[in-house]
Amino acid sequence: MDFSQRVQQAAAKHQAGRLDEAAADYRAILALQPGQPDALHLLGLVAQAKGQVGQAIDLIGKAVEAAPGQALYRNNLGAILLGQGRAAEALAQFRRVLELNPDYAEAWVNLGEAQLATGDPAAAQGSLREGLRRNPSLAAGHAGLARACAALGRGDEGFRAAARAISLQPLVPGFEAIADEFAERRRYSWHFQMMNDAARNAAFRAAIERSVRPGMTVLEIGTGSGLLAMMAARAGAARVVTCERRPEIAAVARRIVEANGLADRVTVVEAASTALQLGQALAAPADLLIAEIYDSHLLAEDALLSLADAKARLLKPGAPILPGRILLRGRPIESEELAGYGRVGTVEGFDLSPFDALANARFLAADAREAPWRALGAPLPLLDFELSRFLSLTGSERIDWTPTASGRLDGFLLWFELDLGEGLVVSNGPESDSRSWAQGLQLLPRPPYVEAGRPAALQVEWLRRFVFLDPLDEPPAG
């Protein structure tokens, strides 16, 4: 039996998962013919499979020395080096592979992965495209291309590449993760509404231009596109530090700031403001805080904690805040359609009400301009925070009100008002010009019946990020 046949027999055991037997056969071959490249290479792959990475690199490296023109050996050596974080060494191997065989699709994909690991997504995108042009069925290539596109801000190509990866090779955790990341970007669609909200933008621009003084240091919480930070720089701020906790948004904001020629004055920090430390990106306490971190329910983006922390650590004493006052209003309503957002009963003759246990009826969003509803009372002032004062993360208030119509109190439509001073108010109220936010909707688990003219009471409780509304059974005091 010649060496080729012995290697083939050992390789058959290897493919069958009989690693110890295969390793013994490879060693027997090497004992008879030291330096036999196939045996060295395959014994190295066995070592890799058994977690003996250092030994694998040594053995496959010897196979490369014995047969320097064998592209397969170099490609596998590069892949192991890349897996060990030795990206520069891996790059050299993959480039040599492609000199030997320019049509080696897997090597193009591996080169792209190494370029990603060394921080060059543009080069990686080109390499990955080359690999996929030669072999479109490489799921790993599509996943790598998706990562490169994500780093370059090319969302449509990246999303499609991620979708191809999980279609070609389902249930690979890394592939599923990148696809989920792109799918999650649908959550950012509201940013476009906000960026294109002329009424909101004009109000903030006027307030910023009124508040910023030349030479000021401005802190912003919630970068988004960087629009408000750039407005502050244009208004004369010497330095603007803006915090964005989502890495993908922070990366895009940096590109926007740079493209608009403001990178020398606007610094985007990829972190929550609560993680920001004085003496680092923010050298000294800021002169002004801009924070547009409010959702349809006012507090769910952790505005109270962020603002209280910034006032205590990151601002000069008495530094103004934009907006300076935030309010939450709610209107009692009856609506069969909106009630269906958080409750279900009998459908097609089947009782589906146990599904109510999964409802998050306290925290919903609804466009009150489209869904039918009937007001049972005037808008109520639920929360009112003057941001220059002490901000408590928890509290409760009693609200007395009188229904103007009788009906089933299904819940409350909610909206905020951001007071920017001098009559400038940004609101998501049903009659507001802003279209950046829907209204909040809080349904009541057990809707009471209210009568027109009969006084009623409501307890409003806020717990840091959440607001709870509960009707009170007892009559109003007095």
- Residue 89 buriedness (CB in 10 A; 0-12 / 13-18 / 19+): middle
CA atoms of 394 and 381, how far apart (whole Å): 17
Q: Is residue 140 part of a domain?
A: yes
Instruction: Phi first, then psi: give them for residue 216, nearest 5 degrees.
Output: -65, 150
CATH number at residue 431: 2.70.160.11
CATH number at residue 10: 1.25.40.10
Q: Are 439 and 430 in contact (CB under 8 A)?
A: yes
CA atoms of 94 and 81, how far apart (whole Å): 11
308 and 427 assigned to the same domain: no
Is residue 434's pLDDT more than 80?
A: no
pLDDT value at residue 274: 96
Is residue 60's pLDDT more than 90?
A: yes
The overall average pLDDT reported for the chain is 93
pLDDT in tens, 177-226: 999 988 888 777 778 888 999 999 999 999 999 999 999 999 999 999 99
Rounded to the nearest 5 percent, the helix, strand and coil shares of the chain are: 45, 20, 35
Q: What angle do CA 296, 297, 302 make, to 5 degrees?
A: 105
Q: Is residue 116 part of a domain?
A: yes
135 and 219 assigned to the same domain: no
Structural domains in the chain (count): 3
Q: Which of 289, 322, 355 is the last residue of a domain?
A: 322
Q: What angle do CA 165, 113, 52 make, to 5 degrees?
A: 100
CA atoms of 325 and 342, how far apart (whole Å): 31
pLDDT value at residue 343: 84
pLDDT in tens, 231-247: 999 999 999 999 999 98
Cα torsion at 111, 117, 123, 128 (round to 10°)?
50
Is residue 478's pLDDT more than 50?
A: no
Residue 408 token pair: 């089933």
What Cα–Cα distance (Å) separates residue 327 from each residue in 173, 299, 330, 425, 466?
A: 44, 10, 10, 10, 14
Is residue 126's pLDDT more than 90?
A: yes
pLDDT value at residue 5: 83
110 and 230 assigned to the same domain: no
pLDDT value at residue 42: 93
CA atoms of 61 and 56, how far apart (whole Å): 8
pLDDT in tens, 324-347: 999 999 999 999 999 988 888 899
pLDDT value at residue 476: 47
Is residue 290's pLDDT more than 60?
A: yes
360 and 414 assigned to the same domain: yes
Q: 359: pLDDT confidence band, cut at 50, 70 and 90?
A: confident
Is residue 155's pLDDT more than 90?
A: no
Beta-bridge partner residues of 326: 385, 418
Is residue 323's pLDDT more than 60?
A: yes
CA atoms of 96 and 236, how far apart (whole Å): 53
- Report the range out of 12-21, 431-440, 451-460 with the highest average pLDDT: 451-460
Sheet strands (E) in 305-354: 321-322, 325-334, 346-347, 350-351
Is residue 304's pLDDT more than 60?
A: yes
Q: What angle do CA 203, 209, 210 make, to 5 degrees?
A: 90
364 and 401 assigned to the same domain: yes
Tell me how far the alpha carbon of residue 339 is from its chain's centroid.
30
62 and 141 assigned to the same domain: yes
Q: Mean pLDDT throughout 349-377?
A: 86
Domain that holds residue 71: 3-187
Q: Is residue 415 part of a domain?
A: yes
Tell me how far the alpha carbon of residue 133 is from its chain's centroid.
31
pLDDT in tens, 110-119: 999 999 999 9
pLDDT value at residue 314: 97
Is residue 366's pLDDT more than 90?
A: no
Within a 10 A sphere around the Cβ of 158, how many other Cβ atoms? 25
Q: Which of 322, 352, 368 is the last residue of a domain?
A: 322
207 and 275 assigned to the same domain: yes
Q: Mean pLDDT throughout 291-299?
A: 94
Residue with tokens 């290539």: 141
Q: Is residue 478 part of a domain?
A: no
Q: Which of 305, 322, 339 is the last residue of a domain?
A: 322
pLDDT value at residue 474: 56
142 and 196 assigned to the same domain: no
346 and 445 assigned to the same domain: yes
pTM listed for this prediction: 0.79
Beta-bridge partner residues of 449: 408
